[in-house]
A and B are shown apart, each in its own frame.
Chain A
Amino acid sequence: MGRKLLLEHINVPGINTFDVYRSKGGYAAVEKALKTLTPDEIVEEVKKSGLRGRGGAGFPTGMKWSFLAKPEGKARYLVCNGDESEPGTFKDRYLMTYIPHLLIEGMIISSFALGANVSYIYVRGEMMPQIRILEKAIAEAKAKGFLGKNILGTGYDLELYVQPGGGAYICGEETALIESLEGKRGNPRIKPPFPAIAGLWGCPTVVNNVESIAAVVPIIRDGGEEYAKIGIGRSTGTKLISAGGNLVKPGIYEIDLGLPVEEFLYSDEYCGGIANGKRLKAVVAGGSSVPILPANLFLKTAALAPRLMSYESLSDGGFATGTMMGSGGFIAFDEDQCIVRNTWNFTRFYHHESCGQCSPCREGTGWMEKVLHRLEYGHGKMSDMDLLVDVSKKIEGNTICPLGDAAAWPVASAIRHFRDEFEWHVTNPSAALAGNFGLAHYADPLPAPEPVA
């Protein structure tokens, strides 16, 4: 059983209030940071911890912070990205609902480290209850002197604001988020310049995921080296996984990175296996935009090593046989699920959420959706699979922001691994409408890797 860092006190009644949170050792990290550490020391601590961004890309947080430009006479901003909208991911919502003070504590430390006097938490528009919870928590913290002017008598000022978004997936992309925060249409900006140079209102800005900021609290409380002891290789610390799909116990789990996926999936401490005694067919490991993997490739890498829940192990084998950690939206599919329908569903989402700024994504996502819809409803052709792969290739890498890639990867990977299921939809359209392809060979043991000559 791994140590819990973020969700240690999650079951304490009233942990969402300031007093209970404080009595459980909350805000101790703020006191430590503001009174005994300099901003540079905090950044150094976060660098030492090896914390990687929890929003999906996995970029080292300490590195991101050290890239922040620090011109004289210009304000700097920290923006917390709470626009969690990836299908399959719901960890940030959970954190903000049940333990809002952890996020606020992290925001204070991070803002201090970056020298920001005004920070924002950008929360997705659909999460209105969470916005109210956060605003209440901010008011409590302010009343106790942890926010506002001269925090804890250290002379550091910080104002924290919660900004509701309009409910667009694209506003989770950092430059689109900044545009939206400025009150404009949430279109991603063309980079460079990166937000670390010119972000919010042209000032240097850091945008971090909710979980990354929350993870700063245990790092400062216990020290970066202590944090780095958890985990494996370059994947340090703990990660919240939003487990969903056909599992016995779906929910939020805090795992030590490096946990074997088999243990995560089948042990009673975590997901407890596949619901209703079914067998596992496929897994989307990190939210809808990462490549989908069949059960056999997910549990073992192509080299037959057991796969671990870590950034490196999940991406082992590249896009051919691997996937990505993403934002930790773990979706398990049992043998009764139709991969074609699921792929169509994902594509429908990306079609709906494309901002329409650059042409490959605007037109390509709609095209893929229509072709997949046709396949799912029994009007497909054999050439459609190649068409889909070709369209996804034309989108991937040619767009302004990563939404194009995110739309292309699930389609390309589904066809790569489940091509016979797609073909079955074409050859047996009436059977495909009534039933589904079943487990087929997707859980069969992998062939032994060919010896390297």
Chain B
Amino acid sequence: MKVTIDGISIEVPDGTSILNAARMIGGDIVPPAMCYYSKLQGSGGKCRTCLVKVSKGSEKDPRPMPKLVASCRTTVMDGMEVQNITSPEVVEARKGIVEMLLLNHPLDCPICDQAGECDLQNLGFEHGAAKTRYEFDRRTFEKIDIGDKIQLHMTRCILCYRCVFTADQITDHRIHGILNRGDHSEISTYIHAAVDNDFSGNVIDVCPVGALTDKTFRFKNRVWFTKPVDAHRDCDHEKCNGKVTLWYKGEDVLRVTARKDVYGEVEEFICNTCRFDKKKTSDWVIEGPRKISHHSVISSNHYETLIPLPVVKTNPLLVEANKEQFERQTRL
């Protein structure tokens, strides 16, 4: 299957989604994804930030698709041509989506634990407007404790459903879902039933915003002041490999998370014991510092990661379409 995204062609296996094809190419042409999570079945299609324009359906049926499509849930066809950042229509639509996502979001980044590693923050920075046109009260919810280790701050939630899929697919039994509808929808565990499960902590990692936070780390530190270090331990849980990132402040391990890749997805889910209970250096075998994408504020002052992406550098079409981005990234 040959697919062309923003003028760059790639061969991908049958059944690949446009988003994954774009991730194989890499660089700036990858649509942002707030709800899609490659490790969770059925995720995606909800946040609409990954909308792209299919300007040519396939080799057999070259008609363009009438609407913008969610790239995470649309499979590629042979000869498909996709426009992402080269289509003004897509850029405009995405700007609209980001504005919508931020409508009811409290923007309390200064006191949010997720700040610095928040997908919504990054998205807003890249695609959003500096000012909102929304002049009404935002919806608010009371904070809810889900068990003794996780706190749900529904006000910040963008309803990506990732944690629902995690609770469904990764943990043993589901007591976690969505109540109500429309903008009153809320993530909930019915009657505040505690999520008491070996793998429940993973909902914190999959949450793209600060709606689900680790209570053992809450308000301890800003993430960009901590140092990520890869480590592993011999975990006796059958589903957990014990491969984690430790976040150090001085000598102390402030928190433990799974290892996240460049798209914010974890490499392997980890168990609650590793995440919440092993916070001493002696519990772990240290592997070395973890590289965080230079997009992230966590990597500030790490100049070795600040290399312009090869795709941007070599593709004149993209350079033209995304000049501002290009300048920001190549400025040194």
B328 within 8 Å of A by Cβ? no
Contact of B182 among A365, A394, A397 (CB under 8 A): A365
In chain A, positions 168-205 with a C-beta closer than 8 Å to chain B are 168, 170, 185, 190
In chain B, positions 128-168 with a C-beta closer than 8 Å to chain A are 133-134, 136, 158-159, 161
A-side contacts of B183, CB under 8 Å: 351, 354, 356, 362-363, 365-366
In the complex, per-residue mask of B44-57: 1 if CB is within 8 Å of any chain A CB, else 0: 11111101000000
> Is B185 a contact partner of A356 (Cβ separation < 8 A)?
yes
B-side contacts of A357, CB under 8 Å: 46, 159, 161
A-side contacts of B274, CB under 8 Å: none
> Is A370 a contact partner of B68 (Cβ separation < 8 A)?
no
> Is A367 a contact partner of B159 (Cβ separation < 8 A)?
no
The stretch among B97-105, B219-227, B261-269, B306-314 that forms the contact with chain A is B97-105
In chain A, positions 4-39 with a C-beta closer than 8 Å to chain B are none
Q: In the complex, A393 Cα to B93 Cα: how many Å?
A: 9
In the complex, per-residue mask of A348-381: 1 if CB is within 8 Å of any chain B CB, else 0: 0001111111111011111100100000000000
B184 within 8 Å of A by Cβ? yes
If the complex has contacts A190-B70, A367-B103, are A394 and B136 also in contact, measured as CB distance less than 8 A? no
In the complex, per-residue mask of B8-25: 1 if CB is within 8 Å of any chain A CB, else 0: 000000000000000000
In the complex, per-residue mask of B191-220: 1 if CB is within 8 Å of any chain A CB, else 0: 000000000000000000000000000000
A387 within 8 Å of B by Cβ? yes
Q: In the complex, A366 Cα to B184 Cα: how many Å?
A: 10
B181 within 8 Å of A by Cβ? yes
Contact of B100 among A190, A351, A352, A359 (CB under 8 A): A359
A-side contacts of B133, CB under 8 Å: 387
A interface: dominant SS? helix
If the complex has contacts A356-B183, A400-B45, are A394 and B96 also in contact, measured as CB distance less than 8 A? yes
Q: In the complex, A353 Cα to B177 Cα: how many Å?
A: 19
> Is B136 a contact partner of A370 (Cβ separation < 8 A)?
yes
> Is A359 a contact partner of B46 (Cβ separation < 8 A)?
yes
If the complex has contacts A360-B97, A400-B45, are A366 and B159 also in contact, measured as CB distance less than 8 A? no
Looking at B48, B158, B177, the one whose CB has the most chain A CB atoms below 10 A away is: B48
> Is B180 a contact partner of A359 (Cβ separation < 8 A)?
no
Q: B92 to nearest A CB, angstroms?
A: 8
A-side contacts of B185, CB under 8 Å: 356, 362
A-side contacts of B180, CB under 8 Å: 356
B-side contacts of A150, CB under 8 Å: none
B235 within 8 Å of A by Cβ? no
Q: In the complex, A351 Cα to B184 Cα: how many Å?
A: 10
Q: B302 to nearest A CB, angstroms?
A: 33
Who on chain A is nearest to B185 by CB? A356
In chain B, positions 62-96 with a C-beta closer than 8 Å to chain A are 67-68, 70, 73, 93, 96
> Is B159 a contact partner of A359 (Cβ separation < 8 A)?
yes
A-side contacts of B101, CB under 8 Å: 359, 363
Q: In the complex, A356 Cα to B104 Cα: how many Å?
A: 13
B107 within 8 Å of A by Cβ? no
A398 within 8 Å of B by Cβ? yes
Q: B122 to nearest A CB, angstroms?
A: 16
A-side contacts of B96, CB under 8 Å: 360, 393-394, 398
> Is A398 a contact partner of B93 (Cβ separation < 8 A)?
yes
If the complex has contacts A364-B100, A398-B96, are A353 and B182 also in contact, measured as CB distance less than 8 A? yes
A-side contacts of B285, CB under 8 Å: none
A342 within 8 Å of B by Cβ? no
B178 within 8 Å of A by Cβ? yes
B-side contacts of A399, CB under 8 Å: 48
If the complex has contacts A356-B184, A397-B67, are A367 and B45 also in contact, measured as CB distance less than 8 A? no
Q: In the complex, A399 Cα to B47 Cα: how many Å?
A: 9
Q: In the complex, A394 Cα to B67 Cα: how many Å?
A: 12
Q: In the complex, A305 Cα to B106 Cα: how many Å?
A: 53
> Is A354 a contact partner of B181 (Cβ separation < 8 A)?
yes
Looking at A355, A364, A397, A398, the one whose CB has the most chain B CB atoms below 10 A away is: A398
Q: In the complex, A387 Cα to B97 Cα: how many Å?
A: 15
> Is A358 a contact partner of B48 (Cβ separation < 8 A)?
yes
> Is B100 a contact partner of A363 (Cβ separation < 8 A)?
yes
Q: In the complex, A159 Cα to B302 Cα: how many Å?
A: 68
If the complex has contacts A357-B159, A359-B158, are A366 and B182 also in contact, measured as CB distance less than 8 A? yes
Who on chain B is nearest to A373 by CB? B136
> Is B97 a contact partner of A398 (Cβ separation < 8 A)?
yes
Q: A168 to nearest B CB, angstroms?
A: 7
> Is B182 a contact partner of A362 (Cβ separation < 8 A)?
yes
> Is B68 a contact partner of A363 (Cβ separation < 8 A)?
no
Who on chain B is nearest to A351 by CB? B182
> Is A360 a contact partner of B104 (Cβ separation < 8 A)?
no
B-side contacts of A364, CB under 8 Å: 100
> Is A190 a contact partner of B73 (Cβ separation < 8 A)?
yes
> Is B93 a contact partner of A394 (Cβ separation < 8 A)?
yes
Q: A192 to nearest B CB, angstroms?
A: 8
> Is A354 a contact partner of B182 (Cβ separation < 8 A)?
yes
Q: B208 to nearest A CB, angstroms?
A: 12
B-side contacts of A358, CB under 8 Å: 45-48
> Is B47 a contact partner of A359 (Cβ separation < 8 A)?
yes
Q: In the complex, A42 Cα to B152 Cα: how many Å?
A: 55
If the complex has contacts A357-B46, A399-B48, are A185 and B68 also in contact, measured as CB distance less than 8 A? no
> Is A356 a contact partner of B182 (Cβ separation < 8 A)?
yes
Who on chain B is nearest to A190 by CB? B45
Q: B65 to nearest A CB, angstroms?
A: 11
Who on chain A is nearest to B45 by CB? A190
If the complex has contacts A359-B46, A366-B182, are A394 and B73 also in contact, measured as CB distance less than 8 A? no
Q: In the complex, A190 Cα to B46 Cα: how many Å?
A: 9
Contact of A360 among B45, B48, B67, B159 (CB under 8 A): B48
Contact of B178 among A185, A354, A359 (CB under 8 A): A185
Q: In the complex, A353 Cα to B49 Cα: how many Å?
A: 22
Who on chain A is nearest to B75 by CB? A192
Q: In the complex, A399 Cα to B96 Cα: how many Å?
A: 12
A-side contacts of B46, CB under 8 Å: 357-359, 400
A-side contacts of B159, CB under 8 Å: 356-357, 359, 362
Q: In the complex, A168 Cα to B159 Cα: how many Å?
A: 19
In chain B, positions 98-122 with a C-beta closer than 8 Å to chain A are 99-101, 103-104
B-side contacts of A370, CB under 8 Å: 136
Who on chain A is nearest to B182 by CB? A354
Q: In the complex, A212 Cα to B68 Cα: how many Å?
A: 30
In chain A, positions 385-419 with a C-beta closer than 8 Å to chain B are 387, 393-394, 397-400
If the complex has contacts A356-B159, A370-B136, are A394 and B181 also in contact, measured as CB distance less than 8 A? no
7 cross-chain pairs, A with B, having the tightest CB-CB distances, nearest first = A394-B96, A356-B185, A190-B45, A354-B182, A363-B100, A363-B103, A366-B183
14 inter-chain pairs at a CB distance below 8 angstroms, sorted by A residue, are A353-B181, A355-B181, A356-B159, A356-B180, A359-B101, A363-B103, A364-B100, A366-B182, A387-B133, A394-B97, A394-B99, A398-B48, A398-B51, A399-B48
A sample of 19 more A-B contacts (CB under 8 A), given A185-B177, A394-B99, A398-B67, is A168-B181, A190-B70, A352-B182, A354-B181, A355-B181, A357-B46, A357-B161, A358-B46, A358-B48, A359-B46, A359-B47, A362-B182, A362-B183, A363-B103, A363-B183, A366-B103, A394-B97, A394-B100, A397-B68
